[in-house]
């Protein structure tokens, strides 16, 4: 049976991989809508390739450019937040939610409709508003399928038993571009070096988060909400081959692991599947050719962002929301060459410390989460001048 699909974040790396999966199974999917950021030509190309009925850009000023790019196709279009939410509201069986950053939180939450499946790639839905998001998903009977390779692997592994029998659920990290670098060398690294991920092709912000290992900390917070596992039962291992994406240690000593070559089309296909798996014409995992799989503990001394994220998860309340907001501001400043690498963790730690004494409860709604996010961002921005490179001269 053909299922209707809407893709939020259609022009990003996840969206492009999703298009490849859909085009390989055109008899199983009908694309209702595609949503992009501000690139009208890129979104129009995706909409044409997939035969979408509606295309929306978040950037309101690009309305005319998008309409011109789609002229003669019969594809409806719009721009601005109203258009984005129109895309979300259109009938769809499955919504692939891959708008990056906090900008994706409200549209992803709005996509929660009775009986729908959400293929979730937007971290902020769980990091910033996990309690509220998952409660609403349960209330509405929405199926949440994780798209991250790590959570997808855990989803497979956890199917082998009961949550109460889990001793530890572990996600893996490639280690990023600085896995073997000294702290002194990392301290001098620029954003171009930090963005050079050794395994995955992702957006610049996610690449920086991978270099700091903040990405793994955020994924632990996501895993907590997705699978109902406490911080004490979640862990990270560095695994540079990026073949084992997640594993579960059971109380009887058995271990169940999810393995695959590092290709996002694998978890996307799993998240989009119905009763049976989608056949994908991808290279197969050949362990004999790989020969060796290695694992190490993460060095939280060289990568303090991981420790900060774990601390926020354990503390609970609004601290994960605050952590994420401060990190977005700090990474943005680092990418603009305003601050140095370890200023990212310093700023995040300072912002979290500023709020920790107030013991703000976990946001009960997305509106509350966004309000806390904005307050934390303002605090982070106030700290930037003290960390700016110019201030050190």
pLDDT, tens only, 124-176:
999 999 999 999 999 999 999 999 999 999 999 999 999 999 999 999 999 99
Q: Shortest CA distance to 125 belongs to which of 141, 112, 139?
A: 112
Confidence of residue 388 (pLDDT cuts 50, 70, 90): confident
DSSP codes, 66-108: HHHHTTTS--EEEESHHHHHHHHHS--SEEEE---SGGGHHHH
> pLDDT tens across 360-382, in order?
999 999 999 999 999 999 999 99
Q: Can you give the pLDDT at residue 390?
A: 56
pTM, full prediction: 0.95
Q: Can you give the pLDDT at residue 199?
A: 73
| Contact between residue 132 and residue 364 where contact means Cβ atoms under 8 Å apart | yes
Q: Can you give the pLDDT at residue 392?
A: 52
| Contact between residue 171 and residue 231 where contact means Cβ atoms under 8 Å apart | no
Distance between CA 14 and CA 121 in Å, rounded?
8
Q: Which of 2-11, 148-157, 349-358, 383-392 has the lowest mean pLDDT?
A: 383-392
Distance between CA 136 and CA 113 in Å, rounded?
9
CB atoms within 10 A of CB 150: 25
CB atoms within 10 A of CB 28: 16
Distance between CA 311 and CA 266 in Å, rounded?
31
> pLDDT tens across 317-363, in order?
999 999 999 999 999 999 999 999 999 999 999 999 999 888 899 99
What average pLDDT is seen over the chain?
95
User: How confident is the model over 223-242, as a mean pLDDT?
Assistant: 97
Residue 391: is its pLDDT beyond 90? no
User: How confident is the model over 233-246, as a mean pLDDT?
Assistant: 97
Residue 67: is its pLDDT beyond 50? yes
> pLDDT tens across 94-103, in order?
999 999 888 9
User: How confident is the model over 230-257, as a mean pLDDT?
Assistant: 98
Distance between CA 308 and CA 349 in Å, rounded?
7
Q: Can you give the pLDDT at residue 100?
A: 87
Residue 393: is its pLDDT beyond 50? no
**Residue 182 backbone phi and psi in degrees, to 5:** -75, 160
- In the Cβ-directed half-sphere of 33, how many Cα atoms lie within 13 Å? 28
Q: Can you give the pLDDT at residue 200?
A: 64
- For the chain, which domains are there? 3-146 (3.40.50.720), 148-263+280-313 (no CATH)
Q: Can you give the pLDDT at residue 205?
A: 87
Angle at 256 between CA 129 and CA 237, to 5 degrees: 60
CB atoms within 10 A of CB 2: 11
CA distances from 160 to 104, 171, 179, 384 (A): 32, 17, 32, 47
Give the three-class secondary structure for 297. coil
Q: Can you give the pLDDT at residue 202?
A: 66
| Contacts of residue 237, Cβ cutoff 8 Å, sequence gap at least 6 | 170, 171, 172, 173, 295, 296, 297, 298
- In the Cβ-directed half-sphere of 265, how many Cα atoms lie within 13 Å? 16
Angle at 190 between CA 188 and CA 195, to 5 degrees: 130
């Amino acid at each position: 049976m053909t299922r209707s699909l809407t893709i939020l974040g259609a022009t990003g790396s996840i969206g492009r991989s999703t298009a490849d999966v859909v085009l390989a199974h055109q008899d199983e999917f009908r694309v209702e809508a595609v949503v992009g950021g501000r690139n009208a030509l890129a979104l129009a190309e995706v909409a044409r390739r997939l035969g979408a009925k509606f295309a929306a850009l978040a950037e309101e000023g690009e309305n005319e450019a998008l309409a011109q790019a789609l002229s003669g196709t019969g594809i409806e279009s719009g721009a601005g937040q109203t258009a984005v939410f129109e895309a979300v509201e259109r009938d769809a069986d499955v919504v692939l939610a891959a708008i990056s950053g906090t900008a994706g939180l409200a549209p992803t939450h709005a996509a929660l409709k009775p009986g729908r499946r959400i293929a979730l790639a937007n971290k902020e839905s769980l990091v910033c508003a996990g309690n509220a998001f998952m409660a609403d998903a349960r209330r509405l009977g929405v199926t949440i399928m994780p798209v991250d390779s790590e959570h997808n692997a855990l989803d497979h592994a956890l199917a082998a038993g009961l949550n109460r029998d889990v001793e530890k659920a572990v996600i893996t990290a490639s280690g990023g571009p600085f896995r073997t670098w000294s702290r002194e060398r990392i301290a001098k690294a620029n954003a171009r070096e930090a963005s050079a991920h050794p395994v995955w092709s992702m957006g610049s912000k996610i690449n920086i988060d991978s270099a700091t290992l903040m990405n793994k900390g955020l994924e632990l917070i996501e895993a907590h909400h997705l699978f109902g596992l406490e911080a004490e039962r979640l862990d990270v291992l560095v695994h540079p081959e990026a073949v084992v994406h997640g594993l579960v240690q059971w109380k009887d000593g058995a271990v169940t692991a999810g393995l695959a070559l590092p290709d996002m089309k694998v978890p996307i296909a799993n998240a989009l599947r119905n009763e049976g798996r989608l056949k994908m014409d991808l290279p197969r995992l050949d362990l004999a050719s790989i020969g060796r799989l290695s694992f190490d503990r993460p060095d939280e001394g060289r990568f303090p962002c991981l420790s900060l994220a774990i601390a926020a998860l354990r503390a609970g309340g609004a601290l994960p929301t605050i952590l994420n907001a401060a990190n977005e501001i700090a990474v943005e400043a680092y990418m603009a060459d305003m601050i140095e690498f370890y200023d990212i963790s310093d700023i995040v730690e300072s912002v979290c410390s500023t709020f920790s004494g107030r013991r703000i409860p976990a946001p009960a709604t997305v509106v509350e989460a966004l309000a806390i996010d904005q307050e934390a961002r303002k605090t982070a921005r106030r700290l930037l001048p003290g960390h700016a490179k110019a201030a050190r001269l």
